[in-house]
Amino acid sequence: MADMTDMTDQFDMTVTYAMHNALRRELRLLDRATVRAGPDPRNVLRTAGWQLFRRALHAHHSAEDDALWPALRQALHGRPLSLVRLEAIEVEHAALARLLEAIDQALADPDAGLPLFGELTGSLVTGLRGHLRHEEEAVFPLVQAVLSKEQWERFGRVHAQRIEADAARLLPWLLDGAADETAAAVLAQLLPESAHRTYVDRWQPAYAMLDQWDPRADLAVTRP
């Protein structure tokens, strides 16, 4: 699992690494849930776990697309080899988005063959795992090297806003299994101190009660 951040880094990337590690955790759970789904793997795509995974991935990738990659592209002007590394990441984002759209379309199509769902979810697991590793190895060092403090802080605000829109669900999901140090750092960055008691007393217990990859579970259980 990736470290929270390197002490020599210019920017604190704790939230970003926490999101990556949460996505990796869910990919492992998705793999297991697909095996348990029995003869109809579509059941996995009707679970609270799938909905939370989709929401978190969209929040994270949309924040990067809207606030991080444009800033990084600007900062890399005149460095064509580094720009190619960023462009490869952007291509991966687009491919993952198309894959999720294909899953949605297949789920809505009663004539879609069941083997297709296994193929699509398998491609998602493989593709997203590779993308997260590629992003950390190829692009995060560029972020640390060339972005300004203002550019990084703007991305942090946008990322926080995308999570804040569904914080009661996404924050407990994000911190599921995280080390205490990571959880404290993430909450300090993403949640006003006045809301920390709400997280502890209401949001986290509601999430803990949810068997998120059980098709019978109701995502409404996580609502405040």
Measured CA to CA, the distance from residue 196 to residue 191 in angstroms comes to: 7
Q: How far is CA 42 from CA 75, 121, 214, 218, in A?
A: 43, 10, 12, 16
**Residues 104-113: tens digit of each pLDDT:** 888 888 887 7
The model's pLDDT over 158-167, given as tens digits with 9 standing for 90+, comes to 999 999 989 9
pTM metric for this prediction: 0.90
Around 208, how many Cα atoms within 13 Å sit in the side-chain half-sphere? 9
What pLDDT shows up at residue 175?
A: 97
pLDDT, tens digit, 9 for 90 and up, residues 59-94: 999 999 999 999 999 999 999 999 999 999 999 999
Using DSSP's 3-state secondary structure scheme, residue 75 falls into helix
* pLDDT tens-digit readout, 93-150: 999 999 999 998 888 888 877 788 878 888 999 999 999 999 999 999 999 999 999 9
Direct distance between the N- and C-terminal alpha carbons of the chain, in angstroms, rounded to an integer: 30
pLDDT of residue 224: 38
pLDDT over threshold 50, residue 220: no
* pLDDT of 1 higher than 80: no
Per-residue pLDDT tens over the stretch 161-189 = 999 989 999 999 999 999 999 999 999 99
Cα gap 75→152, rounded to integer Å: 11
